[in-house]
């Protein structure tokens, strides 16, 4: 049976004449088998912090900063995922030439490009899509998107359902609003004049990994690159720290015969690239996000985990 996902789409500054130079569309993807649990966790988080209103970028303030920090931690610790498309220089769009004279047509084109990414939404899975309601003609436009996907996939589109919903009906639509709002805020340069009510440096909390307090001076990704998790805590590992400068040359030379390069689909459906420098026992893991890659982690491969990664290599995506 194919894995089913729920996709919740929202937009920011989508109107044609709203005096904004940008437009952002984005979605939160929720695996079906985690939907109920994650929905309840977000609702409990809102209850614990006395948040009776919708989660929205426009309602972010210093008074509830602990809530938003916990919400973002929940996102990164869960199977939720997020993707967005940013449109710059919106005022230069030529709808007459490219969109049959309609800004609405352009908006739904962006929804199509947002969803149609095989790296993020592999065709082997199925998707139920829920879009924040925009106008009274939305049903007609959703039918058109559905038709386009069916034509592209020869009547076997992985996008099996499209539906408009109101933002108050879904905490995941609200979470998408929060994230795309932050992207738009940064893209318009508003963070430069922020008084702290929208932008806050989120320091690494070493206590959650049972590490000394001085690790709070570093970014979490860096800390994880030089420490190793054992029995629910992390410890400094000299071998990792000594090899951290290997990451860049391994990525740049991933096509070399010295690097074993394979793709593996994780249990949450994400496809990651494993770059294994077997001669020196070092692994770099990256993940493709649109046309770019992000660094997931890098570590030493030794007798404790060698067999585990050999099995992953054997079960790689062909």
User: Tens digits of per-residue pLDDT, 58-81?
Assistant: 888 778 888 988 898 899 889 999
For residue 224, pLDDT over 80 is answered with: yes
Report the pLDDT value the prediction gives residue 210, as an integer from 0 to 100.
85
pLDDT in tens, 18-61: 667 788 999 999 999 999 999 999 999 999 999 999 998 988 87
CA pair distance 89, 2, nearest whole angstrom: 40
Contact 87, 95 (CB under 8 A): no
pTM over 0.75: no
* CA torsion through residues 211, 215, 219, 224, sign: negative
Shortest CA distance to 187 belongs to which of 57, 289, 99? 57
Domain ranges of the chain: 4-193, 237-314
**For range 190-198, the mean pLDDT:** 58
CA pair distance 113, 52, nearest whole angstrom: 34
Counted residue by residue, the chain has a size of 318
Radius of gyration, CA atoms only, the chain: 22
Give the pLDDT band of residue 282 (cuts 50, 70, 90). very high
CA pair distance 222, 204, nearest whole angstrom: 10
Report the pLDDT value the prediction gives residue 32, as an integer from 0 to 100.
94
For residue 200, pLDDT over 70 is answered with: no
The fold for domain 4-193 equals: Nucleotidyltransferase; domain 5 (3.30.420)
DSSP bridge pairs for 119: none
């Amino acid at each position: 049976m194919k894995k089913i996902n729920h996709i919740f789409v929202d937009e920011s500054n989508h109107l044609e004449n709203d005096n904004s130079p940008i437009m952002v569309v984005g979605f939160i993807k929720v695996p079906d088998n985690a939907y109920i649990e994650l929905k309840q966790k977000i609702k409990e988080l809102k209850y614990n912090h006395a948040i009776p209103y919708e989660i929205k970028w426009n309602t972010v303030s210093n008074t509830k900063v602990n809530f938003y920090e916990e919400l973002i931690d929940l996102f990164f610790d869960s199977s939720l995922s997020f993707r967005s498309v940013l449109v710059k220089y919106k005022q230069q769009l030529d709808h007459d030439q490219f969109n049959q004279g309609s800004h609405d047509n352009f908006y739904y084109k962006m929804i199509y490009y947002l969803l149609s990414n095989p790296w993020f939404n592999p065709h082997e899975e199925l998707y139920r899509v829920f879009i924040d309601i925009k106008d009274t003609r939305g049903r007609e436009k959703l039918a058109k998107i559905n038709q386009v996907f069916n034509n592209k996939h020869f009547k076997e589109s992985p996008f099996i359902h499209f539906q408009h919903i109101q933002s108050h009906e879904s905490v995941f639509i609200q979470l998408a609003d929060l994230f795309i709002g932050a992207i738009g805020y940064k893209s318009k340069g508003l963070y430069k004049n922020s008084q702290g009510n929208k932008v806050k440096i989120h320091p690494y909390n070493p206590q959650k990994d049972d590490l000394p307090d001085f690790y709070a001076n570093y970014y979490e990704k860096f800390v994880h690159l030089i420490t190793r998790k054992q029995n629910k805590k992390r410890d400094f590992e000299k071998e990792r720290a000594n090899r951290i400068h290997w990451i860049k040359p391994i990525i740049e030379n991933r096509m070399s015969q010295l690097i074993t390069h394979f793709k593996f689909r994780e249990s949450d459906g994400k496809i990651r690239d494993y770059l294994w420098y077997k001669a020196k026992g070092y692994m770099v893991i990256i993940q493709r996000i649109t046309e770019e890659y992000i660094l997931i982690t890098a570590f030493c491969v030794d007798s404790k985990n060698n067999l585990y990664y050999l099995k992953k290599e054997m079960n790689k995506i062909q």
